Structure 1
């Protein structure tokens, strides 16, 4: 037996004299004609059965629980990073599209033609072609023989007559060339082909009257 049971037995044994005295008093009361009436204790009435309502079904269209709000400054930083990434992706895409466009132009164009078509500088086009492994078409240079073949002899003959007339008027070579509307190379070619002896410089036009000399 443990200490707890031993303590309870000791308390019961301590109450034995009182129970014995109570039993003697009860017996003396009954001998004198007294009666003991046993009263009925309170009856236990169980509580009524509680009917719980059936659980409600969750609405499929119910709004989701709100997410915890993040601080405004965190939202701004995140949005700024997202926009920076989007701009970088857009620049990369535009650069690739430009490279592909220039690559296609290089298949049929020279540098000069690509400059006129795109507005980009020659250095930009050269660096782009070198970095991406493509080349532009070479420019076709016309030889002197081809230039001679393209000369309009009939036009040269008309220009030669005009140049002779300008010579008679006393115009300088540069004035005659500008009046004829031709280049310096074409002017020189016409002089050589038609044997025109045009003086290289005139002090004054032939049709201007000379000022008389003053006598001392």
Structure 2
């Protein structure tokens, strides 16, 4: 131990002349106006502490519980019936509004062609809802199409009338068979010059088959 300390002291004493010379040089340098800058030695900056984020745990979605409501057939039928009734009422209101708008600019004949409804139906709707259609310029006389006469049908009816006359049917029976009115029947007789006999007024004799005794 003492040997180690004495060795260090001897080495320090050996460096004294160098330290003295260095001190003289520094003093001369400072006397000339020089400055000595003391530099800082390297400094150790520890790295920042690393903080690990906490692990994320995915939450499981909660199961949605759907409550099923039981509806019996009778209740469902009543619900459907109410829905249909509400839809019919809505359709009726929409149709009345549409016809009301048509009545502002159209006559009955024009509305019949536009809607496809009968004139009587349009008149009933207008009367129930308090609006009127536009009057026709000719007072509606040309709104109704005249009954077209079918020549082929008339000729066919004439042939059947002649056959009915040959078998002895009365005029009334012939009209029933054809399904026509008396006016049409008379028009066909005049048009084709058919002399259909008229039945006399009063009771008509009944015809019975003859028996053997009556024939004798």
Superposition TM-score, scaled by structure 2 size: 0.37
Superposition TM-score, scaled by structure 1 size: 0.37
